[in-house]
Amino acid sequence: MVASPRLWRALGGAGVRLAAFFAALFLVAGVAFVMVLWLATAGALDRQADAAIRADAAALVERFRDGGAAAVAEAIGDRMAEDVEQEALYFLADAAGTRLAGNLDGPGVSAGDGAWQGGPLLRDGERAEARVLRRDLPDGGTLLVGRDVQDRQALRALLAEGLASSAAVALLLALLGAWLVRRALEARLGPAVETAAAIAQGDLSRRVPLSSSRDEFDGLGLTMNAMLDRIGQLMDGVRGVSDAIAHDLRTPIARARNNLDEALASARDEAVLRAALERGIVDLDNISRIFQAVLRIAELEAGARRAAFAPLDLAPLLEDAAEIYAASAEVREQTLEVSVSGPLPLVGDRDLLFQAMANLLDNAVKFAPPGGRVRLRSSLLPAQAGGPRLLRVSVSDSGPGLDPAERARAGERFFRADGARTTPGSGLGLSLVRAVAALHGGELRLADARPGEVPPGLEATLLLPVEAPSPPV
């Protein structure tokens, strides 16, 4: 259960990054929300107040044009009397700066027509938080119109405080969310990381545990498991090859070596030496053929050879193979019966299929007794419900056949039935056929050619799907 710290760190990094990203997103959304809220409340209040002041001032300036300073002073007096909340601020002075009307004690520091000023001003001797607009009158007098903003500032402070505390809560929530996201990620990815770490340390039997939710993480786990199964298969293949090499190549190599050794030590004349050398070459050629076949089977079993797949008709291929081996059969005075009716459409590797047929026919001719019979038959089976259409190709002989135990083992590399010990062969023929069949999505079946009779003979049947098999996972 110990994952390597580096893997954990890498995962922690990704988890933290993801979580931080979500937290940041959450915060940005919060800030945007607060800004909109602020503009819609405090900002709107300010804008409304400014607009009212501006309209009030404009009205008073208009009044000045109609009735002079006295009319303005009167209007100011009326407005102050109507202002129950005591918020309105006014100041009217003549050109000399003498106050004519209003509740402000002085003009403050504002400069120029249309200038705003804020901050504390003296109102009837008391300080007041004010926002004031200054208008210059045509006679050189000064008009200030404003509002007391004490209450509004209190409201604004309250609002800011509320927003700040909710921002703090949002930050906390964001951090909590980030932590939860990271925890969840770790919980889902942790088992996969542990499995990968265990496998990296050599335990190929481990698989990623899956949850019942069948989500994306399970998809990842499933893919990883499929990959691990495949790796396992390949490893088995490699192991199989090394076993095979250890098991069956050493013997002929040792034999060839001994023969050469012996010839070198004791050959009396050149003819004997030459014969030994020639035999050595034959031995080496055999060894390299076995080697090639072993590699080829491994390659096929790894499913790595589909480059040469193409649509083809199996019928002429079967006829060609039969024609080649008919000659061998004839030498052994056997009859080779062929009943092939085409077309037999298939997607596959022409040379490999031919090799498989060659191996089957070669076996049949080898094991059928002199004067015996070999049959090659083919048919296109009707489609089974749900299954692909199958091609059936069978080669049967009148030889000794295989008993059930031998049949189960035939197709294992280098397996040779007891009866076959005296016949030449590497014991690789059927495993190659089996591998070729598997590569084409089909299978090889072995049965008695004539059940119940003695000898039963052997019938080797290839079942190949007509459609192209999907590549192995």
Partner 1 sequence: MRVLLVEDDAEVARFVRKGLGEAGHMVEHSANGRDGLFLAASEPFDVLVLDRMLPGGVDGVRLVETLRAQGVRTPVLFLSALSAVDERVRGLKAGGDDYLTKPFAFEELLVRVEALGRRPSGDAPATRLRVADLEMDLLSRTVTRGGKRIDVQPREFRLLEHLMRHAGQVVTRTMLLEKVWDYHFDPQTNVIDVHVSRLRQKIDKGFDKPLIHTVRNAGYVVRADP
Only one of the segments 50-58, 120-128, 215-223, 278-286 lies at the binding site for partner 1 (rule: CB under 8 A); that segment is: 278-286
Residue 310 interacts with partner 1 (CB under 8 A): yes or no: no
Contact (Cβ atoms closer than 8 angstroms) between residue 197 and residue 4: yes
Min. distance of Cβ 19 from partner 1 in angstroms?
48
The binder of partner 1 chosen from 74, 285, 333, 337 (CB under 8 A)? 285
Strand partners, 277: none
Dihedral sign for Cα atoms in the order 237, 240, 245, 249? negative
Min. distance of Cβ 324 from partner 1 in angstroms?
6
Contact (Cβ atoms closer than 8 angstroms) between residue 135 and residue 115: no
Contact (Cβ atoms closer than 8 angstroms) between residue 53 and residue 115: no
Residue with smaller CB distance to partner 1, 89 or 294: 294
Question: Which positions ≥6 away from 167 have C-beta within 8 Å?
Answer: 30, 31, 34
Only one of the segments 109-117, 240-248, 277-285, 334-342 lies at the binding site for partner 1 (rule: CB under 8 A); that segment is: 277-285
Residue 350 interacts with partner 1 (CB under 8 A): yes or no: yes
Residue 281 interacts with partner 1 (CB under 8 A): yes or no: yes
Residue 275 interacts with partner 1 (CB under 8 A): yes or no: no
Ordered DSSP codes for 146-197: EEE-HHHHHHHHHHHHHHHHHHHHHHHHHHHHHHHHHHHHHHHHHHHHHHHH
**Closest by alpha carbon to 195, among 238, 228, 162?**
228
Q: By rule CB under 8 A, what string of x and - marks binding of each residue 286-305 to partner 1?
A: --xx--xx-xx--x-----x
Residue with smaller CB distance to partner 1, 388 or 419: 419
Alpha helices in 205-269, H assignment, sequence order: 216-244, 250-266
The binder of partner 1 chosen from 259, 328, 335, 379 (CB under 8 A)? 328
Min. distance of Cβ 320 from partner 1 in angstroms?
6
Which residues from 97-116 bind partner 1, rule CB under 8 A? none
Contact (Cβ atoms closer than 8 angstroms) between residue 444 and residue 458: no
**Closest by alpha carbon to 448, among 390, 404, 382, 383?**
404
Min. distance of Cβ 177 from partner 1 in angstroms?
53
Residue 354 interacts with partner 1 (CB under 8 A): yes or no: yes
Residue with smaller CB distance to partner 1, 32 or 281: 281
Min. distance of Cβ 358 from partner 1 in angstroms?
5
Residue with smaller CB distance to partner 1, 258 or 423: 423
Which residues from 385-424 bind partner 1, rule CB under 8 A? 424
**C-alpha count within 13 angstroms, C-beta hemisphere, residue 180:** 8
User: CB count, 10 Å around CB of 72?
Assistant: 26
> In the sheet where 443-448 sits, what is the strand order?
335-339, 373-380, 390-397, 458-465, 443-448
Min. distance of Cβ 321 from partner 1 in angstroms?
8
Min. distance of Cβ 327 from partner 1 in angstroms?
4
SS3 230: helix
Residue 359 interacts with partner 1 (CB under 8 A): yes or no: yes
Residue 10 interacts with partner 1 (CB under 8 A): yes or no: no
List of residues contacting partner 1 (CB under 8 A): 278, 281, 284-285, 288-289, 292-293, 295-296, 299, 305, 307-308, 320, 323-325, 327-328, 330-331, 349-352, 354-355, 358-359, 362, 366, 424-425, 429
